[in-house]
Amino acid sequence: DAGVTQSPTHLIKTRGQQVTLRCSPKSGHDTVSWYQQALGQGPQFIFQYYEEEERQRGNFPDRFSGHQFPNYSSELNVNALLLGDSALYLCASSPLTANTEAFFGQGTRLTVV
């Protein structure tokens, strides 16, 4: 099992563009969450997907949207990129149970210029 895999590893976009980041969860996991980690900060919860629906959402504008596919993989889309969207984007997968361990990917480093 390769664990949680994210692609691409690095990305440079221009302000105003749109970006799509991808995540494949750990085998057996049906829940995927996305986090944004700015430099020097802890990860910030963006949203969580289960059964192809957004279950919870953090304090992020609707420029941030996502999708989960029947195979549990997920995409994070960000529209109208701002310079402040530059960050490491982390995907984490888990089963949908209480007190469960979340397994994190290595992240996608997004730079907006």
Partner 1 sequence: AQRVTQPEKLLSVFKGAPVELKCNYSYSGSPELFWYVQYSRQRLQLLLRHISRESIKGFTADLNKGETSFHLKKPFAQEEDSAMYYCALSGLGYGNDMRFGAGTRLTVKP
Binding site for partner 1 (CB under 8 A): 4, 31-33, 35, 40-45, 48, 55-56, 58, 90, 92-94, 96-107
Q: Is 28 exposed, middle or buried (0-12, 13-18, 19+ CB in 10 A)?
A: exposed
d(CA 35, CA 27): 20
* Structure token digits, residue 86: 């530059």
Tokens of 80: 């109208």
Which residues are CB-contacts of 97 (< 8 A; sequence separation ≥ 6)? none
Would you say 11 or 102 has its CB closer to partner 1? 102
CB 112 within 8 A of CB 38: no
Q: Which is nearer to partner 1, 3 or 86 (CB)?
A: 3
The CB-of-111 to partner 1 minimum distance in angstroms stands at 20
Quote the least distance from Cβ 15 to partner 1, whole Å.
Answer: 26
Q: Which residue has the tokens 């209480």?
A: 98
Considering the complex, state which of residue 13 and residue 58 has its C-beta at the smaller distance from partner 1: 58
Taking the least distance from each CB to partner 1, the nearer of 14 and 42 is 42
Q: How far is the CB of 50 from partner 1 (least distance, A)?
A: 8
Smallest gap from residue 18 Cβ to partner 1 (A) = 26
